[in-house]
């Protein structure tokens, strides 16, 4: 099978690495890719925002299947255009991608299908939003409705903080994404991420993970795209997984199909495990980054036929196997991230991969023959281990061999799971 992978992050490097191991694969292209992905794929410089260019490339290279990594091309309708052109694609339609693209849309599905989630209201003006906040009190959560690169959410511990967040949204801090605001009850519990493939009418549970969103050790400091992750998430016991499937994922799949927008792709459910059980915080319609890196390390099965089954509606016949080991990934970022950081700093040396340990590239490029850091999150050092603790030791041992003066990482990824392991 001839494949085109869309994207350029650590998630896409992990997908490329895993897809490249498939006996079904004959050739892998990636647009735009990165230097890590280049080890497994031919990089192509097409403008992925131009849907006609992507389709022309697929025709020219006789591409059988396109795998879309990030959410932006999905929300922009790339999967729709490819399907119209008769090209199989992994990833939802623009209408189905509203599950991630609009928090209000997702909340309305939850309300209609009785999916457990925080009580909420949608607002398109500040005075009404503020009146609701004053009536409800704090803690309370204020969310820009649209895609805000993970930055549109304020978990407000005081009413004043929530009121300020409403002003930020309506004053344009998140652009168009903040033109509507969702205000939601604060959910108290432990967070977990749950990944599940869907072909529109069948679901296949993948695995669980937990990430660390804050930049600093001890989960302190500003939010980021994620500074590390591990899988499985101990809080997601088999009972919690079963309840999540029955109470959250299956009704969502039914709801999407009944609304005329069946969902095909991956559900990435952000959950809060509260005293009442799993409640939905949000959906993403793509693999998590860096959660995908730990999932791919743990997956024993061939990924390619699973993703293809989502596109073809044959997921009901599929199953998936996992290594028993835990996996953990440490994100190495440019000093200053998530604030301003210097670009194009040299990465002098990367350690070789070893059995069950690997460095995925997220924001790198080769300039004048030198590997350089181009993004905020730059490398994902990932390892397997018999426990989260062992995976952590192995990941940090590898991270310590990275020679990159301008890089930093958190030193405590996985602490919650490791505390549990150590009793």
Which residues here bind ligand AMP, judged by CB under 6 A? 118, 141, 150, 153, 155, 184, 186-187, 191, 213, 270, 281-282
Q: How far is the CB of 193 from ligand GLY (least distance, A)?
A: 7
**256 contact choice in ligand GLY, ligand AMP, none (CB below 5 to 8 Å, kind-dependent):** none
Q: How far is the CB of 96 from ligand AMP (least distance, A)?
A: 18
Min dist CB 185 to ligand GLY, Å, is 22
Contact 378, 335 (CB under 8 A): no
State in angstroms the smallest separation of the CB of 99 from ligand AMP. 12
Binding partner of residue 71 among ligand AMP, ligand GLY, none, CB under 5 to 8 Å per kind? none
Nearest approach, Cβ of residue 372 and ligand GLY (Å): 24
User: Residue 154: enclosing H or E segment and its boundaries?
Assistant: strand 153-156
Which among 304, 402, 333, 407 is positioned nearest to 22, based on CA atoms?
A: 304
Identify what 153 binds: ligand AMP, ligand GLY, none; CB under 5 to 8 Å per kind: ligand AMP
Which of 356, 358, 359 is CA-nearest to residue 404? 359
**Which one of ligand GLY, ligand AMP, none interacts with residue 145, CB within 5 to 8 A by kind?**
none
- Choose among 278, 290, 228: nearest CA to 248: 278
CB 131 to ligand GLY: min, Å: 31
Residue in 283, 267, 207 with CA at minimum distance from that of residue 238: 207
191 contact choice in ligand GLY, ligand AMP, none (CB below 5 to 8 Å, kind-dependent): ligand AMP
Alpha helices in 76-188 (DSSP H): 78-84, 98-101, 103-113, 126-136, 159-170
- Cβ nearer to ligand GLY, comparing 51 with 278: 278
Closest CB to ligand AMP among 4 and 148? 148
Half-sphere exposure of 391 (CA within 13 A, CB side): 31
Q: Cis link prior to 232 (omega < 30° from 0)?
A: yes
Shortest reach from residue 226's CB to ligand AMP, in Å: 10
226: partner contacted, choices ligand AMP, ligand GLY, none (Cβ within 5-8 A by kind)? ligand GLY
* E strands in 217-342: 220-223, 228-231, 264-274, 277-284, 326-334
Residues that bind ligand GLY (CB under 6 A): 150, 211, 225-226, 284, 288-289, 291
Q: Between residues 186 and 396, which has the closer beta carbon with respect to ligand AMP? A: 186
| CA 116 – CA 102 distance, rounded (Å) | 18
User: How far apart (Å, rounded) are the C-alpha atoms in residues 99 and 170?
Assistant: 22
Nearer residue to ligand AMP within complex by CB, 202 or 213: 213
Q: Report, in Å, the least distance between residue 223 CB and ligand AMP.
A: 7
The item of ligand AMP, ligand GLY, none sharing an interface with residue 186, based on CB under 5 to 8 Å by kind, is ligand AMP
| 3-state class (DSSP) for residue 343 | coil
Q: 186 or 322, CB closer to ligand AMP?
A: 186
Q: What long-range pairs does 173-179 form, CB within 8 A, spacing at least 24?
A: 173/144, 174/144, 174/146, 174/148, 175/148, 176/146, 177/144, 177/145, 177/146, 177/147, 177/148, 177/152, 178/144, 178/145, 178/146, 178/148, 178/152, 179/124, 179/145, 179/146
- Residue closer to ligand GLY, measured from CB, 34 or 284: 284
d(CA 197, CA 40): 24
**Binds 187: which of ligand GLY, ligand AMP, none (CB < 5-8 Å by kind):** ligand AMP
Task: Please report the sign of the dihedral spanned by the C-alpha atoms of residue 302, residue 305, residue 310, residue 314.
Answer: negative
Which residue in this structure is represented by tokens 């690169």?
Answer: 149
- Asked if 298 and 317 count as a contact pair (C-beta separation under 8 A), the reply is no
Nearer to ligand GLY, 145 or 291 (CB): 291
Which is closer to ligand GLY, CB of 51 or CB of 361? 361
Distance CA(236)–CA(420), nearest Å, equals 13
State the nearest-atom distance from the C-beta of 145 to ligand AMP, in Å.
Answer: 11
Q: Return the residue nearest ligand GLY (CB atom).
A: 226
Give dist(CA 97, CA 262) in Å, integer.
Answer: 10
> Which one, 36 or 118, has the nearer CB to ligand AMP?
118
The interface partner of residue 288, options being ligand AMP, ligand GLY, none and the CB cut-off 5 to 8 Å by kind, is ligand GLY
């Amino acid at each position: 099978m001839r494949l085109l992978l869309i994207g350029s992050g650590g998630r896409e490097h992990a997908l490329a690495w895993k897809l490249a191991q498939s006996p079904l694969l004959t050739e892998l292209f990636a647009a735009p890719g990165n230097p890590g992905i280049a080890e497994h794929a031919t990089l192509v410089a097409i403008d992925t925002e131009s849907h006609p260019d992507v389709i022309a490339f697929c025709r020219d290279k006789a591409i059988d299947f396109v795998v879309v990594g990030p959410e932006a091309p999905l929300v922009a309708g790339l999967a729709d255009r490819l399907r119209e052109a008769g090209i199989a694609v992994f990833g939802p339609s623009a209408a189905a991608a509203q599950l991630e693209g609009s928090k209000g849309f997702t909340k309305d599905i939850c309300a209609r299908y009785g999916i457990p989630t925080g009580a909420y209201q949608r607002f398109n003006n500040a005075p009404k939003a503020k009146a609701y906040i004053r009536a409800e009190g704090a803690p309370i959560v204020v969310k820009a409705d649209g895609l805000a690169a993970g930055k549109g959410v304020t978990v407000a511990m005081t009413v004043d903080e929530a009121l300020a967040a409403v002003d930020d949204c309506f004053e344009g801090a998140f652009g168009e994404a903040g033109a509507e605001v969702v205000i939601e009850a604060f959910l108290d519990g432990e967070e977990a991420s749950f990944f599940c493939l869907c072909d529109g009418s069948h679901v296949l549970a993948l695995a669980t993970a937990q990430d660390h969103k804050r930049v600093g050790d001890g989960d302190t400091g500003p939010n980021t795209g994620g500074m590390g992750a591990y899988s499985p998430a101990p809080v997601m016991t088999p009972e919690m997984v079963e309840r999540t499937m029955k109470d959250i994922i299956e009704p969502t799949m039914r709801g999407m199909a009944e609304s005329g927008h069946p969902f095909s792709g991956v559900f990435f459910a952000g959950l809060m495990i509260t005293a009442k059980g799993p409640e939905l915080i949000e959906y993403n319609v793509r693999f998590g980054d860096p959660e995908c890196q730990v999932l791919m390390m743990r997956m024993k099965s061939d990924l390619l036929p699973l993703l293809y089954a989502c596109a073809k509606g044959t997921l009901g016949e599929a199953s998936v196997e996992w290594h028993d080991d835990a996996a953990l990934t440490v994100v190495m970022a440019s000093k200053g991230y998530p604030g301003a950081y210097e670009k194009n700093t040299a990465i002098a040396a990367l350690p070789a991969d070893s059995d069950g340990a690997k460095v995925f590239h997220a924001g790198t490029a080769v300039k004048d023959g030198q590997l350089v850091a181009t993004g905020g999150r730059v490398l994902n050092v990932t390892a397997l281990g018999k426990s989260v603790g062992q995976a952590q030791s192995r990941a940090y041992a590898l991270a310590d061999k990275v020679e990159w003066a301008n890089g930093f990482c958190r030193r405590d990824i996985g602490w919650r799971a490791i505390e549990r392991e150590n009793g």
